[in-house]
Structures are given as C-alpha cells and as structure tokens.
Chains A and B, each alone.
Chain A
Amino acid sequence: MSDASPLDLNAEATGGPSLSYGQLVRRRFYRNRFGMAGLIGCLIIIILSVFAGFFAPYSAATKDREAIFSPPQAIRIFAPEGGLTRPYVMGFTEEMDQTTFEITFAPDPEKQVRIVFFGEGEEWRFLGLTFDTHLFVGENGQPVHLLGTDGLGRDVLSRMFHGSSITLLMAFMVMGAACLIGTIVGVTSGYVGGRTDIVIQRIIEFVKSFPDLPLYLALVAILPTRADPLFIFIMFAMILVLLQWANLARELRGKVIAIRSVEFVRAAVAVGASDQRIILRHIVPNMSSHIIVWGTYVLPEVILLESFLSFLGVGVQQPMVSWGVMLNQVRDFQSLAAAPWLLAPVGMIILAVLAFNALGDGLRDAMDPYAND
C-alpha cells in the first residue's frame, strides 16, 4: 500500500489478486499430496473404464478354449538364452496328475508369444465408432492372458477392465441420483420447516430403518428369472439410490436450518427476495461443497455394495460384467484354491475405494471455509 495514512478509509485494503472461492479451493487442493494422489488414481480408473476396449486385449465375452483356468503370465524381457529382448510371455504345457486329476500348468520356454503394442485385435466400439487397436495384443493373434483366465477361458484382465465401466457407471448413477433427490428433499425439509419437515423426517427414518439385505434379496425374488440384465441393473441402481439419498437429505436439512438463520439469508428476505431465489442463490451454493464431498464418499460405498451384492449373485447379472460379478465365480472354495488369480478384481476394488476416499478427504479439507493454511 502506498498510502498508509490512518485516515484513509481503505487503508486496510484489499490488495493482491482477487481469488474466488473456487480458485482458493483449487489452490488448497493442489497442495494436498494425499488428495492429489487420490485424484490421479480416480482419473486413471475412470479413463480405464471409459476406454476399456482399448486397454483390454479381448472383449469380456471372448473365450479361449485352449486355456481354461490358465494362470497369469509374467511379462519377460530377458531371453532364455540371455540378453534383452522384446517383451514376451510364455505359453503353458498342461500336465494332469494321474491320481487327483488335477491339471497343473508349467511355463513352456518353447512357446514364446511376443507382445505387440498398439496392435490390431478384436473390434471394440466407442460412441458408435468401431476400432480395432488395442494397447497390447499377442503377436499374430496368439493368446496373451496376463492375469490368467477363468473357467470358460475368458481373459481376467480384459474382463476386469470391462467390468470397471459397469461398476463405475453404477456408482456414478447412484451418486448422481442420490445427490439430486437428497438435495431437493433435504433443502425443502430444512427450509420449509414445520409440518413438512416433520413428515419428511419421519419418511427418512422409515427409509433408513429398512433392512437393506432382505430388500436386495427380495428384488431377485420379485424379478422374473429371465428378466433383461439391463432391467435388473437399473432396478438394482434404484434400490441403492433409495437407501442412499436419505443420509444426504438428513445432513443437508441440518445445514439448511443453520444457514437459514444466518444474516445474509435474512438480508435477502429484507430486500424482498422470493423463497425460490433464496434457495437457489443463497442456500444451495453454500451447500455445494458439502454435497460434492458427500458424493465422493458415496462412490466407494456404492462400489463396495455393488461388489458385495453381485458376489452374492443378487446384483448385476450375467452376461454383464462387473467386479462383483467376476468375484461371483470364486464363491466356492475349490475354485478359489485352484485359480486364486480370479480374485484380481479385489485389487481393483481396493484401489478404487482408496482413491475415491483420498479424493473425498482432500476435497473436504480444501473446501473447509474456515481453514486457511
């Protein structure tokens, strides 16, 4: 400040760049390493699921009848005779134990399959366009199963990538719908108050007191056994929404009641603003950070619920692929012991949950209006 005269009305002054709330949040977020790691993790998972066709060498349904329950293949860059070479994987020789009839796989140095990056493979569709380029395929169409195959000879890695899109689609759909319904109901309840509030709160309590597992099981009972998987998928999502929105509505109601009596809202009443204007211009913008943070916490919750229920067989149905559906294959102990690589989606679930939680934590810290560090 050039003018520091004590009588200058604006001596305390403003100076410095004008930062909006959004800019402040971004700055604070970028400095949070844990949150940034979460953000990067989330972006990777989202990109992976959107372009699953590109990253996965096969489609989710492609069966390799030559390789049933074949174990994961390691990528090798050292040739058996020594020295570096182009990355390749080894095929397997199958041997059957004559007493137990157990089939064991042993890497066969004779069967080397070179990996080709950005090679041509099966066709995949994205936004109505057809492509045939994959991140990697086996040379000359030879099979490569980095994470092994399941009992039908389907590539676990490819199914995991394809499954992530269904799982994330479910998570985002549920989050979006729950946020929308929760916001509308919660803000209405808190703002209108009185009898409306009492009724809405009792409804929320009713919804929250529902035993959820029987509800999911009932869904399976209600739906015809031959129902379209897509229909079941949507019904499943709707039930998740039904059980999730109530939490947000209740949290927001409390916040709205607090903010309704803050002076800037009363000042808006004093200038003659309508209820609609007060809600849309004053209350909801001040709720937005809470809603966003809530949303990022609900995503991992839905991912876990989806995998849990699909594992039980009441969630997403075949032939749709989700992480939970894949885990459904290892329900019995024999298949788990024989093919532990089928648990690979668990790793993805853990990664996704950690990443979204880290993102949520980072956002919450960055959006805290009282923090200034």
Chain B
Amino acid sequence: MTEPLLTIENVAVSFQTATGPRVAVKDVSYSVARGRTLAVVGESGSGKSVTARTIMGMLAPNARVGETTKVVFDGDDISNWPEEKLRDLRGRRISMIFQEPLTSLNPVYKIGDQVAEIIRSHREIGKAELKAEVIRLLTEVQLPDPEARYGQYPHELSGGQRQRVMIAMALANDPDLLIADEPTTALDVTVQAEILGLIKALQDKHGMAVILITHDLTVVEHVSDDVVVMRHGEVVERGETSQVFADPQHAYTKHLLASEPKGKPDPIEGDAPIVMEGEHLRIVFHLKAGGFFNPQYRELVAVDNVSASIRRGETLGIVGESGSGKTTFGMSLIRLGANQEGQISFKGERIEHLTRKQMRPLRPKIQVVFQDPFSSLNPRMIIRQIIEEGLTVNGLAPAERRDRIEQALTDVQMPLDCLDRFPHEFSGGQRQRLAIARAIALDPEFILLDEPTSALDLSIQAQIIDLLRELRRRRGLSYLFISHDLKVVRALCHNTIVMQHGKVVEFGPTSEVLERPQTDYTKRLVKAAFEVVA
C-alpha cells in the first residue's frame, strides 16, 4: 500500500445552537491513499458529511472545529490554512460531488459555461481550447451528445445526467481526491448503478483517491476498498471492506449488516375478502402549452387504466421509478388525490363519487403514512395533539381517546412520555413510528404506505418493516405499499405491481415478479436493486 494521500486525525466539530453547543463529530481519524476508495458509512447525524466538509474547510458559520483536528493532504497540514489557500486547493486538487444534483447546478447558466468556469478559475486557458476541454470532460462522463449538452440548461437534463455533469465538474482539474457525498441517494436505482460504475471507471483511469459517503451498504460492498463505520460522531469500526463485511467486530456494524430487509411476508388466508379495489383508474393532468394567443392543451396521462385489489391482510406493492405514477395512483385510490376516471370500492361500497364531506365517516378506516416524516407531523403541535386529532374529529370520548393513544404508542414501541414533546425532538425513524401511530390509533382496515422507509436509514428501515409486519398480523391490516426499493418490497409484499409511465407493465406474486421478471424494465429494476454495479 502506498503513502496515504489524505490523513485526518482527531477531527472534532461542534455546532453552536440556540440550545447550547451540539457535538457533531467527536474524534475521527481516517486516511485514504491514491487509487483507493474509502467508504464512510453511518446513519444520518453520525457526522460523516460534517467530517468531509471539515476536510474541504466548508463548514457552516456556527461550526467550531476542535483544536486537536489535523488534516494532512499530500504531506501538508492544511487544517490551519487560510481561506485563500484552501480555495485554490478546492476544485483543483480536492473535488466534491453533492447529494442533490437538482440543486447543485445553477439553473440560469448553461451546462458548458458551468463546467468551463471551474476550469478557468484554476487554469489559464484559451477560449477554443476551453470549449474542447469541456466537451472532452462531458464525453468522459458518458453524457450522450456532449456537443449539444454544452449549450443546454440544467432543467433540460435528467437527474442522472445532471449528476454526470457534476462529476465532470469535479474532474475538471484532474483532482487527486474526490469526495462523493451520497452521490446516488437522490437518483433512481437503475441510474444509481450507472453513476457508481462511472465513478469507479474514472477513478481507475485517473488514479484518484475517492471518499464515498453513503448509508447504502450494498454500494459500500461493491464499490469500496476500505470502510469506516461512523456512529454518533465517532468511528466504531474500520478496515478493508471485504473483511468488515465478512467478520464485523463492533455490535453496531453487525447490527447494520443485519438490517438489510429480509424475510418473507406471512401468507394470507385464501378466502379473505377484498378490502380495497380500484378498477381501470385513469388520471389525467391538463397542461397548458403554447402562447396566450394560440393556447394548446396537452394531456398528461399520469395513470393509465390501472387496476388493483387488496384483500384483508394482504400487502400489495407498487414499484417503479420516480414519475411512473405510483403515488398518484395510491393517493387517488384513497381519495386524497386528483380526480380520476374508473371505479374505486372500499369493502364493496363504491366511493369514487363521494365528496370530501361524504368521505369523512370512512376516513378512520382508510389511513395513510407519508414518505417524509419531517413534513408529515405539524411542527407546532405536541405528539398528543397530533395523534389525538383524528380521534377528536371522529367524536371519541376523552377517556377512549387516551386509551387509543396509549395503545397505538405501545404498538409502535414508543415510550408514553413522548406525548408532550414536539416533533422536532425526534429522529426520522421515531417520527415515522409516530406517523404510523397516528394512522393506527384510528383503528383502520387499510393503510396506504407511500414510501414510508425511503427517507430513513437502513437500520431504521428494518425496524419499520418489522413493525409494519407485526401490525398487519395483530390487527389484520391491509397495505398498499408504494416503493422504489425492491428489497423492501420483497420483504413485505405478497403481490407486486410494476409501473412505468403510468401503465402496469407487470403484475403477480412478489416472488414471481422479482425472481422471474418478464419485461426488460422489471429486469433492469431487479438487477439494479440486487446487484448494484454490474
């Protein structure tokens, strides 16, 4: 093994907040050599991104870096360098790719100009030469038709293409170290695999050192050479990836590795009645195109002739990439979404024509858990008020409300003393459990789960899945489970619908669909989910 390119020692960072200082990183040391990939794994809040930003000298103004912190890059201790020297280092020798490609490109500049800007800020270069260089970079990141892309704006590109542009920008000055902060989290699974493959190929070609920050263990296993596991601002385990995966030492690493969603759903009774049924649903959005004087109306068919039925105790999964219409379908099935054509029935009763007021008596039976636990709980209410709301509007007596709230909290394994706290005091996983408690407190029969685990860390995902399975068994619940994560679907769903562009492309028992996919699209999804980098 060669000399490490970057070594960080005893990094400590805390943030000044209104509630006093909060320690984000306690004592983190790691190093990475040229040509190697170091994966930094940990859940959100474990301090992995903060550590990376410390290397770049890009912390928020309220951050305080501890005195022990030492960052050695290529033999120089850069931890006390002034801002001007660091600026010269950033983008030239150390580059960073961010998580969100939709916001990290400036929407008012052309792609080519943004890449050129990076080159020009560190090199003297002629105009024609500059353009040739940008196009070479765009070709290198395998952006289709780079000449045309040069003059396009970010909104004309897909998420995956934008992330390629970000990579081109990061590579513009041939950096020695590339820091990729969750580069694929915001992308669809199929795109994710391509981006990771690209980073890997470029690394081999340029001999860069790569620090890959992620919470996705499958990515770590396939892409990295070494791994550092972080928790609560500390390194709990480090080593070569293969070794750590084969023989984890620390209890937390073991727990992380064990939290891949697994197991199969329990079978459903053969003659269970159908709870929720949607037939030939078609949802159309009307878009206005053309100018004021020649208006043209375009129809966007978000959901095209999709049918689904869910029996009691059944979990039906809907998978597909973003934009495939799965959430639109789910929301309109429970009458929370756009108007639709087609029929919806709940326990044999037609509900598609009911007004919002007429739906009210049915609401307690049909519940929903949203994707983002941070926006689904009102920040101005305490937990008691949040869970109680549904019970109050449905006219339950105070005593019964209290019993139901306590029962629901017990079911989601939250302590009762959380009732008087505000949502911002809880972590993502806890909030999602509280959101589930709000749904089950009403004693529903059907719950729409709209990507309930995708905003959560892996080990928390596993808890939520176990919880959902347990609740289904105990309460005889039926779920419609919307997800883009096939691993979770495999662990939870009896039947699965695969959607693409608003249409059903495949439907059947989950094991059939995932093990013997019939269409190319499903095959691609399955491959991306279970193999990552080909």
Spell out A's residues near B (CB within 8 Å).
Answer: 5-7, 9-10, 12-14, 16, 18-21, 24, 27-28, 31, 262-264, 266-274, 277, 281-282, 285-286, 369, 372-373
B393 and A273 contacting across the interface, CB-CB below 8 Å: yes
Please name all residues of chain A whose beta carbon is closer than 8 Å to the beta carbon of B256 when the two chains form the complex: 6
Is B415's CB within 8 Å of the partner chain A?
yes
Stretch from B10-18, B90-98, B485-493 contacting the other chain: B10-18
| Among A6, A10, A262, contact of B414 (Cβ-Cβ < 8 Å) | A10
A263 and B375 contacting across the interface, CB-CB below 8 Å: yes
What's the minimum C-beta distance from B448 to chain A, rounded to whole angstroms? 9
Please name all residues of chain B whose beta carbon is closer than 8 Å to the beta carbon of A277 when the two chains form the complex: 389, 393
Stretch from B70-78, B107-115, B416-424 contacting the other chain: B416-424
B421 and A372 contacting across the interface, CB-CB below 8 Å: no
B425 and A18 contacting across the interface, CB-CB below 8 Å: yes
Q: In whole angstroms, how far apart are the Cα atoms of A372 and B16 in the complex?
A: 8
- Which residue of chain B is the closest to A285 with respect to CB atoms? B380
Given contacts A21-B380, A271-B363, contact A264 B18 (CB under 8 A): no
Please name all residues of chain A whose beta carbon is closer than 8 Å to the beta carbon of B17 when the two chains form the complex: 372-373
Interface residues of B in 340-359 (CB under 8 A from A): 356, 359
Q: In whole angstroms, how far apart are the Cα atoms of A18 and B414 in the complex?
A: 16
Q: In whole angstroms, how far apart are the Cα atoms of A272 and B357 in the complex?
A: 8
Interface residues of B in 318-359 (CB under 8 A from A): 334, 336, 356, 359
What's the minimum C-beta distance from A24 to chain B, rounded to whole angstroms? 6
Interface residues of B in 423-444 (CB under 8 A from A): 425-427, 429-430, 435, 438, 442
Please name all residues of chain A whose beta carbon is closer than 8 Å to the beta carbon of B381 when the two chains form the complex: 281, 285
Count of chain B residues near A, Cβ 8 A: 56
A to B CB contacts below 8 Å, 20 in the list:
A6-B251, A6-B255, A7-B255, A10-B430, A14-B418, A14-B421, A16-B19, A264-B378, A267-B377, A267-B438, A268-B389, A271-B363, A271-B394, A272-B359, A272-B364, A272-B390, A277-B393, A285-B381, A369-B379, A372-B62
A373 and B18 contacting across the interface, CB-CB below 8 Å: yes
Is B60's CB within 8 Å of the partner chain A?
yes
What's the minimum C-beta distance from A283 to chain B, rounded to whole angstroms? 10
What's the minimum C-beta distance from A362 to chain B, rounded to whole angstroms? 13
What's the minimum C-beta distance from B152 to chain A, rounded to whole angstroms? 29
- Which residue of chain B is the closest to A28 with respect to CB atoms? B18
A273 and B379 contacting across the interface, CB-CB below 8 Å: no
| Among B62, B251, B376, B418, contact of A5 (Cβ-Cβ < 8 Å) | B251
Per CB-CB distance, the 5 closest pairs between chain A and chain B, nearest first, are A271-B390, A272-B363, A373-B62, A263-B376, A6-B255
What's the minimum C-beta distance from A187 to chain B, rounded to whole angstroms? 15
- Which residue of chain B is the closest to A268 with respect to CB atoms? B389
| Among B368, B420, B422, B459, contact of A21 (Cβ-Cβ < 8 Å) | B422
Please name all residues of chain B whose beta carbon is closer than 8 Å to the beta carbon of A269 when the two chains form the complex: 336, 356
Please name all residues of chain A whose beta carbon is closer than 8 Å to the beta carbon of B429 when the two chains form the complex: 12
A18 and B19 contacting across the interface, CB-CB below 8 Å: no
A19 and B19 contacting across the interface, CB-CB below 8 Å: yes
What's the minimum C-beta distance from B507 to chain A, rounded to whole angstroms? 26
Is B140's CB within 8 Å of the partner chain A?
no
Please name all residues of chain A whose beta carbon is closer than 8 Å to the beta carbon of B413 when the two chains form the complex: 9
| Among A7, A27, A267, A285, contact of B376 (Cβ-Cβ < 8 Å) | A267
- Which residue of chain B is the closest to A30 with respect to CB atoms? B18
Is B61's CB within 8 Å of the partner chain A?
yes
Is B66's CB within 8 Å of the partner chain A?
no
Is B245's CB within 8 Å of the partner chain A?
no
A18 and B422 contacting across the interface, CB-CB below 8 Å: yes
What's the minimum C-beta distance from A200 to chain B, rounded to whole angstroms? 21
| Among B252, B377, B380, contact of A286 (Cβ-Cβ < 8 Å) | B380
Q: In whole angstroms, how far apart are the Cα atoms of A10 and B426 in the complex?
A: 10
Spell out B's residues near A (CB within 8 Å).
Answer: 15-19, 45, 60-62, 231, 251-252, 255-256, 334, 336, 356, 359-361, 363-364, 366-368, 370-372, 375-381, 389-390, 393-394, 413-415, 418, 420-422, 425-427, 429-430, 435, 438, 442, 459, 463
B19 and A27 contacting across the interface, CB-CB below 8 Å: yes
Q: In whole angstroms, how far apart are the Cα atoms of A143 and B422 in the complex?
A: 60
B336 and A263 contacting across the interface, CB-CB below 8 Å: no
| Among A12, A18, A24, A285, contact of B421 (Cβ-Cβ < 8 Å) | A18
B45 and A12 contacting across the interface, CB-CB below 8 Å: yes
| Among B18, B334, B336, B375, contact of A262 (Cβ-Cβ < 8 Å) | B375
- Which residue of chain A is the closest to B256 with respect to CB atoms? A6
A271 and B19 contacting across the interface, CB-CB below 8 Å: no
Please name all residues of chain A whose beta carbon is closer than 8 Å to the beta carbon of B15 when the two chains form the complex: 372-373
- Which residue of chain B is the closest to A9 with respect to CB atoms? B413
Given contacts A14-B421, A272-B394, A273-B393, contact A373 B370 (CB under 8 A): no
B420 and A18 contacting across the interface, CB-CB below 8 Å: yes
Q: In whole angstroms, how far apart are the Cα atoms of A14 and B422 in the complex?
A: 10
B438 and A271 contacting across the interface, CB-CB below 8 Å: yes
Please name all residues of chain B whose beta carbon is closer than 8 Å to the beta carbon of A286 when the two chains form the complex: 378-380
B336 and A271 contacting across the interface, CB-CB below 8 Å: no
- Which residue of chain A is the closest to B43 with respect to CB atoms? A12
Q: In whole angstroms, how far apart are the Cα atoms of A252 and B533 in the complex?
A: 48
What's the minimum C-beta distance from B347 to chain A, rounded to whole angstroms? 17
Q: In whole angstroms, how far apart are the Cα atoms of A53 and B232 in the complex?
A: 61
User: What 5 new A-B contacts, CB under 8 Å, besides A10-B414, A14-B425, A16-B19?
Assistant: A14-B430, A262-B375, A267-B438, A281-B389, A372-B62
Q: In whole angstroms, how far apart are the Cα atoms of A149 and B427 in the complex?
A: 66
Please name all residues of chain A whose beta carbon is closer than 8 Å to the beta carbon of B361 when the two chains form the complex: 272
Given contacts A27-B19, A263-B372, A285-B380, contact A14 B363 (CB under 8 A): no
A272 and B393 contacting across the interface, CB-CB below 8 Å: yes
Q: In whole angstroms, how far apart are the Cα atoms of A277 and B393 in the complex?
A: 9
Please name all residues of chain A whose beta carbon is closer than 8 Å to the beta carbon of B364 when the two chains form the complex: 271-272
Please name all residues of chain B whose beta carbon is closer than 8 Å to the beta carbon of A28 when the two chains form the complex: 18
A264 and B375 contacting across the interface, CB-CB below 8 Å: yes
Q: In whole angstroms, how far apart are the Cα atoms of A373 and B18 in the complex?
A: 6
What's the minimum C-beta distance from B314 to chain A, rounded to whole angstroms? 21
Q: In whole angstroms, how far apart are the Cα atoms of A127 and B368 in the complex?
A: 56
What's the minimum C-beta distance from A127 to chain B, rounded to whole angstroms? 36
B435 and A267 contacting across the interface, CB-CB below 8 Å: yes
What's the minimum C-beta distance from B424 to chain A, rounded to whole angstroms? 8
Q: In whole angstroms, how far apart are the Cα atoms of A92 and B311 in the complex?
A: 100
What's the minimum C-beta distance from B251 to chain A, rounded to whole angstroms? 6
Please name all residues of chain B whose beta carbon is closer than 8 Å to the beta carbon of A262 when the two chains form the complex: 375
- Residue of A14, A19, A24, A272 most packed against chain B (CB within 10 A): A272
Please name all residues of chain A whose beta carbon is closer than 8 Å to the beta carbon of B368 when the two chains form the complex: 266-267, 270
A9 and B380 contacting across the interface, CB-CB below 8 Å: no
A273 and B418 contacting across the interface, CB-CB below 8 Å: no
Please name all residues of chain A whose beta carbon is closer than 8 Å to the beta carbon of B18 when the two chains form the complex: 24, 27-28, 31, 372-373
B360 and A272 contacting across the interface, CB-CB below 8 Å: yes
Given contacts A10-B414, A272-B364, contact A21 B379 (CB under 8 A): yes
- Residue of A18, A19, A28, A270 most packed against chain B (CB within 10 A): A270
- Which residue of chain B is the closest to A369 with respect to CB atoms? B379
Please name all residues of chain B whose beta carbon is closer than 8 Å to the beta carbon of A10 when the two chains form the complex: 414-415, 430
Q: In whole angstroms, how far apart are the Cα atoms of A6 and B359 in the complex?
A: 43
B393 and A14 contacting across the interface, CB-CB below 8 Å: no
A274 and B334 contacting across the interface, CB-CB below 8 Å: no
- Which residue of chain A is the closest to B337 with respect to CB atoms? A266
Given contacts A269-B336, A271-B442, contact A14 B251 (CB under 8 A): no
